[in-house]
Each structure stands twice: as C-alpha cells, then as structure tokens.
C-alpha cells in the first residue's frame, strides 16, 4: 500500500524548534516531489514547502521562508521539515503530501504542532 506517516509534532514555546518527519512506503520515493501542507484549527489548507525528488530544488511559502527547512533522505524514504523560530501562528496540523500529475495524490494523516507558552 502507498502510505505516508507523519510524526514529530508537539507542544513548543514561541521561538522554539521542532523537526517533523514523514515516512514513505509503497512507492519509489526518489521519483516524486514531496510537500508539506498545514491547516490551522478550523481553517483552510496552506501550502508550506516543497522539495524535488533529488532534493536539489526547494520552495517555501513567504510565511515560513528563512525559518523552515525542508529536506529528504532518499536512502531511508523519509521527508523532513525543520521548523525554527516558531510563532503562535504556526500552530496547525501539518500534512506531508506526494505530488503526482500536478496534484497532491497521497497525504499523511497529519501531525499537530502547537506553539504556546
């Protein structure tokens, strides 16, 4: 089965850091660009970041640029999101998603990040 499993969320103080992970299985990981999408409680979806299959190309939403870093370890089929200088407005459910045919065809179950003192 094609599957993404998000993990690493939790409660962190403003200014703190957290690293999210997304374990992929059931497909050839290096063949696909991967993305992080977040959803604040009761709100809509917001694209956060993306990385190409090789890891050479990365993109970020303006809201996280300079604070978040996306990376991947293709030998382990894992996607990461390093989040630094966290703010209250970063509180959200974070999903990893696979991109295929210009669409997010597979989603993880989400991992919750809460930024609060």
Partner 1 sequence: QSVLTQPPSASGTPGQRVTVSCSGSTSNIGIKTVSWYQQLPGMAPKIIIYNTNRRPSGVPDRFSGSKSGTSASLAISGLQSEDGADYFCAAWDDSLDGYVFGTGTKVTVL
Footprint on this chain of partner 1 (rule: CB under 8 A): 35, 37, 44-47, 50, 59-63, 95, 100-105, 107-110
Q: What are the beta bridge partners of residue 73?
A: 78
Nearer to partner 1 by Cβ, of 29 and 95: the residue is 95
Minimum CB separation of residue 18 from partner 1 in Å reads 20
Minimum CB separation of residue 108 from partner 1 in Å reads 7
Q: What long-range pairs does 72-75 form, CB within 8 A, spacing at least 24?
A: 72/29, 72/34, 74/29, 74/30
Inter-residue contact 9 to 18 (CB < 8 Å): yes
Nearer to partner 1 by Cβ, of 16 and 114: the residue is 114
Minimum CB separation of residue 46 from partner 1 in Å reads 7
Nearer to partner 1 by Cβ, of 12 and 108: the residue is 108
Q: Which two tokens stand for residue 52?
A: 């190409």
Query: Degrees (nearest 5) of the Cα angle 73, 58, 86?
Result: 85
């Amino acid at each position: 089965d094609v599957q993404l499993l998000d993990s690493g969320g939790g409660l962190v103080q403003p200014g703190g850091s957290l690293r999210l992970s997304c374990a992929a299985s059931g497909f050839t990981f290096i063949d696909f660009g991967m993305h992080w999408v977040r959803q604040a409680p009761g709100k809509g979806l917001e694209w956060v970041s993306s990385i190409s299959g090789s890891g050479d190309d990365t993109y970020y939403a303006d809201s996280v640029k300079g604070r978040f870093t996306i990376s991947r370890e293709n030998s382990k089929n894992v996607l990461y999101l390093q989040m630094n200088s966290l703010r209250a407005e970063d509180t959200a459910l974070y999903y990893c998603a696979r991109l295929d045919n210009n669409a997010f065809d597979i989603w993880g179950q989400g991992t919750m990040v809460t930024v609060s003192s």
